[in-house]
Amino acid sequence: MTSLRSLLTTEKPDSPVPHLDRITPAASMPGGEVDVHGSHLEPHGDRIPRASIGDISAPIILTRPTRATIRVPEGTISGDLILHRNGADSNPLPLRVAVPMAENLHPVSNPAVDADGNVYATVSGSRGQAVPVSIFQIQRDFQIRPFVRELLNATGLSFAPDGYLYASSRAEGTVYRISPEGAVSTYAEGMGIATGIAFDRDGNLYVGDRSGTIFKIAQGEAPGISGEIFVYATLEPSIAAYHLAFNDAGILFVTGPTTSSSQSIHAIDRDGNTTVFFRGLGRAQGMAFDVDDNLYVAASLHGQRGIVRIDRHHQATLAVSGNDLVGLAFLEDGCAALATRSALYHVALDIEGRKLF
């Protein structure tokens, strides 16, 4: 008769414990995939390793001796990722997982954040579609409330130095000025198919058109009154200037999603001269800068979708894994709001965003 002790002592000596070194990227949306790097991660005999994130079992998509690809299940929250093999557990490594802030939205660009940390996102709708609520406010405690009604196809959002929210309407070619109480007034018209918008630190507004034109609206003599409007720069007509963002040096960055797997990010200097900052992304969309001038963009990198970080040396890495992302905005305490086509998510990244003004 075999004793319990003999069963315990017959564990195969050639089955080393898996060891984890790092996770790339270190953050994910639910449904995203991350790579775990380490040693002894492959199957042993007929036993396939298992993975868990906190209390949630996570499917392993690919496993090799030094790398395993793991999908983050829906409903997962931030926690320790552990690989289990032959009854042995690896060391834990923390994985940050985004959690929903607000659902039943339709953002098509970056969310916007006011000085109090409230986040604003659109229900944009298809072109010409009227929706009951155009812009929602998501408060710091994740409470959501209607903010603007009956603004047709709200597209780009940006706060101005005066604390007012500005929104473009791609259906009307109009930019609207919105007070902290949600009152809407017309700021500028005739912007073509107005999409991306961004303010520079002098209070001038830049508006992207889907035919590749960037308009500059000079700051007027009084808040809420636009000054001179002129063409600031032109890109190829096939490039929809859908997303705009300034870096700390006052360079304007532009993306417009296409079906190309080798899409470019364009940089426009203060004189309106255009260059290619980076090439090689898939469907690049909303952008934001951190305080160190690293650029973060919702895009695909080497076939993997998420938030891509591009440093000042033009080196690109995936910062957050996840599908359907259209934009982001940095919050206080190193967190970020991530926008998908239907919702906003919140994730801690330990990244300090660039101060807009």
For the chain, domains (ranges, CATH) are 17-97 (2.60.40.10), 100-348 (2.130.10.10)
User: Looking at residue 240, what is its pLDDT?
Assistant: 81
SS3 readout for the chain: CCCHHHHHCCCCCCCCCCEEEEEECCEECCCCEEEEEEECCCCECCECCEEEECCEEECEEEECCCEEEEECCCCCCCEEEEEEECCEECCCEEEEECEEEECCCECCCCCEECCCCCEEEEECCCCCCCCCEEEEEECCCCCEEEEEECCCCEEEEEECCCCCEEEEECCCCEEEEECCCCCEEEEECCCCCEEEEEECCCCCEEEEECCCEEEEEEECCCCCCEEEEEEEEECCCCCCCCEEEECCCCCEEEECCCCCCCEEEEEECCCCCEEEEEEEEECCCCEEEECCCCEEEEEEECCEEEEEEECCCCCEEEEEECCCEEEEEECHHHEEEEEECCCEEEEECCCCECCCC
* pLDDT score for 221: 83
Residue 3 has what pLDDT? 43
pLDDT along the chain (357 residues), means of 10: 40 73 98 97 84 97 95 97 94 98 97 97 94 96 96 97 96 96 96 95 94 93 88 86 95 87 92 95 96 97 96 96 97 96 97 92
Closest CA to 136 of 164, 112, 163, 117: 112
Check residue 2 and give its pLDDT.
41
**pLDDT digits 0-9 by tens, 16-66:** 899 999 999 999 999 999 999 999 999 877 678 999 999 999 999 999 999
- The whole-number pLDDT of residue 90 equals 97
Over residues 78-92, the pLDDT tens digits come to 999 999 998 899 999
Q: What is the pTM of this model?
A: 0.93
pLDDT given at position 257: 79
- Please report the pLDDT score of residue 254 as a whole number: 96
